[in-house]
A and B are shown apart, each in its own frame.
Chain A
Amino acid sequence: DAKTTQPPSMDCAEGRAANLPCNHSTISGNEYVYWYRQIHSQGPQYIIHGLKNNETNEMASLIITEDRKSSTLILPHATLRDTAVYYCIVQAAGNKLTFGGGTRVLVKP
């Protein structure tokens, strides 16, 4: 049961901001929005998560709409090493993470 919808792929230019959208219109009040990424043949890497407020860390920013039905992950200055599949997941804390299809991001020079 897909809880999130993401575009299957997107390209972005090196050095520019990458904005990755995610729709989660059926999100429940106790569910967080998590973002992970997976570089080829590696395990997923945690990026950021949030509940209601926008969040920022050293890797990215997470913008969650007021109705919480969608969010955007922002990579402020994309590098070639940011090429990966990015997964948006909604899940209650402590519950298992269920992955959808993700967005395959290609950062181009």
Chain B
Amino acid sequence: GAVVSQHPSRVICKSGTSVKIECRSLDFQATTMFWYRQFPKQSLMLMATSNEGSKATYEQGVEKDKFLINHASLTLSTLTVTSAHPEDSSFYICSASDTGYTFGSGTRLTVV
């Protein structure tokens, strides 16, 4: 079946630095990918829809200048958390749309 690979699985960074998370569709091409954020004991919250070759569409309340999304190819989307702060610590999950929706394994970001 469809596989989505997400890296890194876990990252710790210092406050003020930037972190890049990669999401790859391994055996299919994904013109659309989705980025979610999940805080402890809460549900997944959609942050943005990543479209290959065009700008991402952000959900209301999500800062596009802080969460930079690049979808330069049909198999790769990246999320960069810029100038990270402790409140950005969360579980970030990507998803790619093929015949259905396949999710990555998530990235645990801790900002210290």
A binds B: yes
Could you tell me which A residues sit within 8 Å of B by CB distance? 34, 36, 38, 41-46, 49, 87, 94, 96-102
Given contacts A42-B106, A96-B34, A101-B43, contact A49 B6 (CB under 8 A): no
Q: How many residue pairs at the A-B interface have CB separations less than 8 Å?
A: 45
B109 an interface residue at 8 Å Cβ cutoff?
no
Q: How far is it, in angstroms, between the C-alpha of A45 and the C-alpha of B34 when the chains are bound?
A: 15
> B103–A44 contact, CB under 8 A?
yes
> A46–B43 contact, CB under 8 A?
no
The tally of residues in B whose CB lies under 8 Å from a CB in A reads 22
> A49–B100 contact, CB under 8 A?
yes
CB distance from A94 to the nearest CB of B (A): 7
> B103–A45 contact, CB under 8 A?
yes
Q: How far is it, in angstroms, between the C-alpha of A38 and the C-alpha of B32 when the chains are bound?
A: 22
> B102–A102 contact, CB under 8 A?
no
> B97–A94 contact, CB under 8 A?
yes
Per-residue contact bits, chain B 74-112, to A (CB 8 Å; 1 contact, 0 not): 000000000000000001010101001111111010000
Pick 29 A–B contacts, CB within 8 A, sort by A.
A34-B101, A36-B103, A42-B105, A42-B106, A43-B95, A43-B103, A43-B105, A44-B44, A44-B93, A44-B95, A44-B103, A46-B100, A46-B101, A49-B100, A87-B43, A94-B32, A94-B97, A96-B34, A96-B46, A97-B34, A97-B95, A97-B101, A98-B46, A99-B36, A99-B43, A99-B44, A99-B45, A101-B43, A102-B43
